[in-house]
Structure 1
Amino acid sequence: MAEHHPHAAFPSRPSSSHLHQQGNPFSRPQTPHVGLQIGFCGLGAMGYFMARNLANRHIAHPHSATPLLVWNRSVEKSEKLLKELGDNKVKIAGSIEEIARECDMIFTNLANDTVVKDVYVQFAKALEDSGSLKPKIFVETSTIYPTLAGELDTLISAHHGRLVMAPVFGAPPVADAGKLLVVMAGDYRSKKEVAHVLIPSVGRSVIDLGGNLEKASTFKLIGNSMILGSIEILAEAFTLGERTGINASLVQTLVKELLPAPIIVGYGEKILHDAFDGTNGFAIDGGIKDATHIRRLSTETNVPMPSLDTAHQHLITARAIHAAQSLRGEHSYDTLDWSSLVAGTRVAAGLDPFDSAKHDRVVPVNED
């Protein structure tokens, strides 16, 4: 596992009141970053809001007057952000290499491991070609397999870069509100600098996983296993209710009474109302990617996770049904949210996969 050792001992722990107010376990850096140039790569469903909030915070900071430098594979997203915020807050980079050369702190939020690796290879090549000895901090916020963190660290550290792994918890609306939960691992001084850029503009709080870079990605997969397992349980419970003649709204009432965690209630609402639009949630391809990572990790560590195996199967079923509907022009959404995994449970029970209004015509099993 890739390990970064702190350059200095941990300072005294902040008071509990400070932690409660700031959500940040790191003391403030002693020297403010005058003229710090921040870059952001990847303006997808999450990255767009993260970059926007960073740009708004960064330009308002008394020691930071440089616009956020952004890059996205399709320039339209960059142009949209520029139009929204203006050129005093955002500047569009012409290439990934420009981000690596010009920026002091670079954030990435990308779709999958392959894309992440490719971008960091380009970062490393740009640093090598520039010959710059100036240290830079690279902050990877995507959900990736833990061992990839070590590969990224090798690429960056060879050219005086420092890597911080900082995956985030929260759907796009949470990112929009700047309330993400940030999980962080890496060099201590680098984490401190990054944390005070992210909090409170992008995230509500930070969980520090120490110096081992792989721990942050592992922790993110553990968290996503809880979320995905909860969605699977909800899907099964709602489907059982439908087949036994209990209205889905009553099942959701029970969810609110017994399991009143906001994320569980929220996914219950999605299933109740067939709100499976992936552009307003977590797209199903990302869910399948994460489920695959979790299952791989559980296999390598001999930890059985049968609920995740079932959830993974139901995600694939939902995506396959949606693909078939799309070919016929019958789909309701261009991209599915991962809560649509309920389709796997529904079709197995003889129900419509995505339209619960049709369930009203189902005769409850105890009345056959």
Structure 2
Amino acid sequence: MATSPVPYSRPTTPGNAVPIQIGYVGLGGMGGTMARNLAKYHATHAHNSPPMLVWNRSSVKGEKLLAELGQDKIRVARSLDQVATECDIIFTSLANDEAVKSVYQQFAETLKVLMCHPRGTKIFVESSTTFPTLAGELEMLISSAPHCRLITCPVFGTPPVAEAAQLIVVMSGDHQSKKEVAPMLVPAVGRKIIDLGESLEKAPTFKLIGNSMVLGTLEILAESYTLAEKAGVAASDVHSFVQEMFPAPGIIRYSERISQDDFDASTGFSIDGGIKDASHIRRLTALHNSPMPCTDIAHQHLITARAIHKSKVQSGKETVDVFDWSSLVTGARAAAGLDVFASARVRLLPLAAYG
């Protein structure tokens, strides 16, 4: 029996409801795509909806989004204070734990001045990939002001999946707040919501568990492609097999990247983000005494890949500014004694030739 993509009943709408002002903070690779989809959907499906208010540390991204969508869908905030003051529901999507905490500390300072929110509860929706215990710190900051709630809401999916509004969304925290936010996210940015209960740490924990599966898949792909290269099997043939045997969009996309040495993170997930996530996963495994040796190896290969990339940048031999985390294959190749950036072009001797 099929389950509903949104596990909550739709909240009732009062007769003279005041239009909800949405804010979005963080317009990076995933955040920018989610903000775009959310703004477009909200403008066409919410009656008398005001334009979404966006903020990014670099104002260029906000201005670019405004130029793309227009003033009827987007406004660019002057500051985080403006977002915290004017918005009813605020989404945050930031690069790392430090950035998240810094933004929420600023929110808390602004909320102290406001002291109250005249139109009811203000909901903060934190969707970054962070270590779970940070959620408790954020809750203390936000709950210090009256009528303010926090829910954690990370997402799963590659940039093309985000573009297609097919992300998987996980939620934890206050039930009523989740019920209010869920209809904004599905189908605007995602295809399904998984509710993990009221403990704020559950969703970021689940995000790390899910990312451990993605990272483990990347590591297996990297090792298999490396073995294929040493055994004289073409990368294109390996990729054809992946397409037929494992027809999941994410796996196929990462396989394609590895087979073509396509490691430009402008259309992917940065290696720094991958190392951050791997570090969080390893910390979580230590906390719960649950070893993940595959993640340990992937973490080593990510660090090796980053070191190789930085060396090439310094020598002027690299044109890609930031590597995608699928570049961990270069760490596996280095361990196997291969030219780390020539897999698609090298054809080694047949296995029998090795004696």
In the alignment, is the contact (CA less than 8 A) between 1:244 and 1:366 conserved in 2? no
Q: Which residue number in structure 2 is paired with residue 141 of structure 1?
A: 127
SS at match of 2:346: helix
Q: Distance in 2 between matches of 1:88 and 1:261?
A: 37
| Residue 121 (structure 1) aligned with residue 105 (structure 2) | yes
Q: Structure 1: which amino acid aligns with 2:283?
A: R
SS at match of 2:84: helix
Q: Distance in 1 between matches of 2:296 and 2:332?
A: 13
Query: Matches of residues 166-245 of structure 1 in structure 2 within 5 Å?
Result: 166-245=153-232
Q: Distance in 1 between matches of 2:56 and 2:129?
A: 18
Matching residue within 267, 271, 276 for 1:280: 267
| Residue 312 (structure 1) aligned with residue 299 (structure 2) | yes
Q: Distance in 1 between matches of 2:11 and 2:172?
A: 17
Q: Structure 1: which amino acid aligns with 2:258?
A: I
More divergent stretch after superposition (306-315 vs 248-257): 248-257
Q: Distance in 1 between matches of 2:352 and 2:334?
A: 19
Q: Which residue number in structure 2 is paired with residue 3 of structure 1?
A: none
More divergent stretch after superposition (254-263 vs 205-214): 254-263
Q: Which residue number in structure 1 is paired with residue 49 of structure 2?
A: 65
In the alignment, is the contact (CA less than 8 A) between 2:89 and 2:122 conserved in 1? yes
Q: Which residue number in structure 1 is paired with residue 92 of structure 2?
A: 108
In the alignment, is the contact (CA less than 8 A) between 2:235 and 2:344 conserved in 1? no
Q: Distance in 1 between matches of 2:350 and 2:335?
A: 15
- State the TM-score, normalized to the length of structure 2: 0.95
In the alignment, is the contact (CA less than 8 A) between 1:242 and 1:364 conserved in 2? no
- State the TM-score, normalized to the length of structure 1: 0.91
In the alignment, is the contact (CA less than 8 A) between 2:172 and 2:178 conserved in 1? yes
How far did 1:62 drift? 3.9
Instruction: Give CA deviations for 1:60-113 in whole Å, capped at 9, x if unaligned.
Output: 124242000000001000000000011111111110011001000000000000
Matching residue within 9, 12, 27 for 1:43: 27
* Distance change (3 Å), C-alpha of 1:148 and 1:166: same
Q: Which runs of 5+ in 2 are unaligned?
A: none
Q: Which runs of 5+ in 1 are unaligned?
A: 1-15
Q: Which residue number in structure 2 is paired with residue 92 of structure 1?
A: 76
How far did 1:279 drift? 1.1
How far did 1:275 drift? 1.5
| Residue 294 (structure 1) aligned with residue 281 (structure 2) | yes
In the alignment, is the contact (CA less than 8 A) between 1:271 and 1:340 conserved in 2? yes
Q: Structure 2: which amino acid aligns with 1:30?
A: T
In the alignment, is the contact (CA less than 8 A) between 1:96 and 1:123 conserved in 2? yes
Instruction: Give CA deviations for 1:20-63 in whole Å, capped at 9, x if unaligned.
Output: xxx11111111266410000000001111111111111111242
SS at match of 2:133: helix
Q: Structure 1: which amino acid aligns with 2:9?
A: S
Q: When the two structures are aligned, how many residues end up with a matched partner?
A: 349
Q: Distance in 1 between matches of 2:226 and 2:280?
A: 27
Q: Structure 2: which amino acid aligns with 1:241?
A: A
Matching residue within 134, 140, 147 for 1:154: 140
In the alignment, is the contact (CA less than 8 A) between 1:58 and 1:64 conserved in 2? no
User: Percent sequence identity over matched residues?
Assistant: 57
In the alignment, is the contact (CA less than 8 A) between 1:105 and 1:138 conserved in 2? yes
Q: Which residue number in structure 1 is paired with residue 10 of structure 2?
A: 28
In the alignment, is the contact (CA less than 8 A) between 1:36 and 1:64 conserved in 2? no
SS at match of 2:23: strand
In the alignment, is the contact (CA less than 8 A) between 1:179 and 1:202 conserved in 2? yes
Query: Matches of residues 235-274 of structure 1 in structure 2 within 5 Å?
Result: 235-274=222-261
Instruction: Give CA deviations for 1:202-251 in whole Å, capped at 9, x if unaligned.
Output: 11110000101100000000000000001101111111011011112222
| Residue 83 (structure 1) aligned with residue 70 (structure 2) | no
Instruction: Give CA deviations for 1:148-196 in whole Å, capped at 9, x if unaligned.
Output: 0011011101112100100000122221211111000011110011101
Q: Distance in 2 between matches of 1:336 and 1:366?
A: 36
* Distance change (3 Å), C-alpha of 1:288 and 1:99: same
* Distance change (3 Å), C-alpha of 1:236 and 1:169: same
How far did 1:365 drift? 5.5
How far did 1:17 drift? 5.7
More divergent stretch after superposition (66-75 vs 250-259): 250-259
In the alignment, is the contact (CA less than 8 A) between 1:235 and 1:341 conserved in 2? yes
Q: Structure 2: which amino acid aligns with 1:356?
A: S
How far did 1:263 drift? 2.1
Q: Which residue number in structure 2 is paired with residue 334 of structure 1?
A: 321
More divergent stretch after superposition (86-95 vs 172-181): 172-181
* Distance change (3 Å), C-alpha of 1:246 and 1:213: same
In the alignment, is the contact (CA less than 8 A) between 1:351 and 1:359 conserved in 2? no
Q: Distance in 1 between matches of 2:63 and 2:246?
A: 42
In the alignment, is the contact (CA less than 8 A) between 1:41 and 1:70 conserved in 2? yes
More divergent stretch after superposition (263-272 vs 136-145): 263-272
